Chains A and B, each alone.
Chain A
Amino acid sequence: MERRTQARPTGLFLTLCAAMLLLAMVSQQPWASGARSYAKGAFAPFEQAMTAVSDHLGAITAVFGDNAALRADNQRLQAQNADLQRQIAELQAAGQDNLALRQALDFQRGYGHATVAAQVIGRGPDGFSLTVEIDRGTSDGVRPGMVVASGAGLVGRVREASPHAAIVQTLADPQSRVSGYLVKTGLEGTVIGGAANLQMQINPRFGAAPAAGDWVLTSGVGGGYPRGLVIAKVAAVSYHDASTVDHATLTWVNDAATLTVVLVITDFAGT
């Protein structure tokens, strides 16, 4: 066998491993972020082209299958459903605000922000970091740290931006953390990312109990996100006597795998 007689390329392996480690350490440095962004931006057109091909193929197969109208109706109804759910959550939140300190609050509520619409052109290469890539970058005013939303609610935050593309860390990413509150009870807590479901650690308060079906909105605590963006709906709540917080499983209003268009909030400077 020819393969068996070849010299074992351990030297090549070790050299390439060392080179990749060195590249990782160098490209991680702040002074290299510009070059890294440009390199990543070079790959974006291929993703954009592939996404366009995918859209065309989807349209062609839909025509052949006589499903185009049904697909359009389904998408429209899904969008309407998401929008109505968001409105319900916002109305509930508005009611609570009226009861409490609405007149004293002096901040611009969600969706009063300046936004840049962007198309999702790619996604993370593995399941460990659930990110999406969008076709807007620094030349469109998009900067790392900016908050990203969709018609349904909060999507995540821009993590890296090149001139014509940006990578967004979605809430489905296990690393994401957002301060949120329950609309009906006003209970606050931290929403933790997850591939299957979001989790929320709720700070308990005497006389208030979290319940399934309640909406979770961004609280604005910590300054990372504007207050009032819809995050998720409570699917289930669990209590543990030994725990200092209550735990809730949430159903995210967005789905990272099917997102196609997002809005980057450009006038909110999160901390």
Chain B
Amino acid sequence: MTWIPAALLMLFAATVQVTWAPAISVHGAFPNLVLVIVTVITWTRGQRAGLLWACAGGLLLDLAAPGPLGPHALALLVGAYVTGFWVRNVDPSGPAHPVIAAAVSTAIYSAVLVGADDLLNLPVPAPALVLELAVAAAVYNSVLVLPIMLVAQRLRQEAAG
């Protein structure tokens, strides 16, 4: 994956996330396409690439969110690091692992995002609400990650062969 298509993909994902995705919310949670794509990049391209694109995608989300720049990028970085740790220690060919990794990454992302807001003295929602939204988003993202992973692997195979 070269830089320009990846950057365009990340820009597209971030823009879709802040325009279309909220329209398909379930119980207040909606898919985090940037997180899903960062998970896929980490899974297919490695932890280093995942971290760099997590930073870029997170900053794009920060541009659409109220408050300072950085919390979304920080939350995605931690999620990508955990996903990278996962992919290094399991057989990455199994379909269940990326699904679980996306769910875990979403939970960690939510916790870090709320924690960062708290650290920066920004208002944070009640813990029960955070838990509810995080669980719903984790389910949403884990459903999305598999088809996107399959598409990414197919594209990679076509590019290689």
Binding site for B on A (CB under 8 A): 3-4, 6, 8-10, 12-13, 16-17, 20-25, 27-28, 36, 39-40, 42-43, 46-47, 49-51, 54, 121-131, 133, 159-160, 167, 169, 174-175, 194-196, 256-258
Q: For the side of the interface on B, what is the size category?
A: 35 or more
From A6, A9, A27, A129, give the contact of B69 (CB < 8 A): A27
Given contacts A40-B64, A121-B19, A122-B18, 9 further A-B contacts (CB under 8 A): A24-B70, A24-B116, A25-B120, A27-B69, A126-B72, A127-B30, A194-B129, A196-B28, A257-B23
From B16, B60, B70, B124, give the contact of A27 (CB < 8 A): B70
Distance A218 CA – B64 CA, assembled complex (angstroms): 28
Distance A23 CA – B46 CA, assembled complex (angstroms): 25
Distance A23 CA – B55 CA, assembled complex (angstroms): 12
B152 beta carbon closer than 8 Å to chain A? no
Q: Do A133 and B18 touch across chains, with their CB atoms under 8 A apart?
A: yes
Q: Give B57 Cβ to nearest chain A Cβ, in Å.
A: 10
Given the complex, which residues of A lie within 8 Å of B136, measured CB to CB? 127
The residue in B11, B63, B123, B124 that gathers the most chain A C-beta atoms within 10 A of its C-beta is B63
From A6, A160, A174, A257, give the contact of B129 (CB < 8 A): A174
The residue in A8, A159, A169 that gathers the most chain B C-beta atoms within 10 A of its C-beta is A8
Q: Do B120 and A125 touch across chains, with their CB atoms under 8 A apart?
A: no
From A28, A47, A128, A174, give the contact of B64 (CB < 8 A): A47
Binding site for A on B (CB under 8 A): 11, 14-20, 22-23, 25, 27-30, 32, 34, 46-48, 51-52, 55, 58, 60-61, 63-74, 77-78, 81, 84, 87-88, 92, 110, 113-114, 116-117, 120, 123-126, 129-130, 133, 136-137
Q: Do A8 and B88 touch across chains, with their CB atoms under 8 A apart?
A: yes
Q: Do A126 and B66 touch across chains, with their CB atoms under 8 A apart?
A: no
From B22, B48, B113, give the contact of A257 (CB < 8 A): B22
Knowing A125-B17, A128-B114, the reply to whether A257 touches B51 (Cβ < 8 A) is no
Given the complex, which residues of A lie within 8 Å of B34, measured CB to CB? 125
Knowing A124-B65, A125-B18, A128-B133, the reply to whether A12 touches B51 (Cβ < 8 A) is yes
Q: Do A123 and B120 touch across chains, with their CB atoms under 8 A apart?
A: no
Q: Do A24 and B25 touch across chains, with their CB atoms under 8 A apart?
A: no
Knowing A3-B87, A127-B30, A175-B125, the reply to whether A24 touches B22 (Cβ < 8 A) is no
Q: Do B28 and A195 touch across chains, with their CB atoms under 8 A apart?
A: yes
Chain A to chain B: the 10 pairs with minimum beta-carbon distance, closest first: A24-B70, A195-B28, A43-B63, A28-B68, A175-B123, A125-B61, A23-B70, A27-B68, A123-B22, A20-B74
Q: Give A44 Cβ to nearest chain B Cβ, in Å.
A: 9
Q: Do B133 and A127 touch across chains, with their CB atoms under 8 A apart?
A: yes
Q: Do A174 and B55 touch across chains, with their CB atoms under 8 A apart?
A: no
Distance A167 CA – B14 CA, assembled complex (angstroms): 16
Knowing A13-B77, A21-B70, A128-B114, the reply to whether A6 touches B18 (Cβ < 8 A) is no
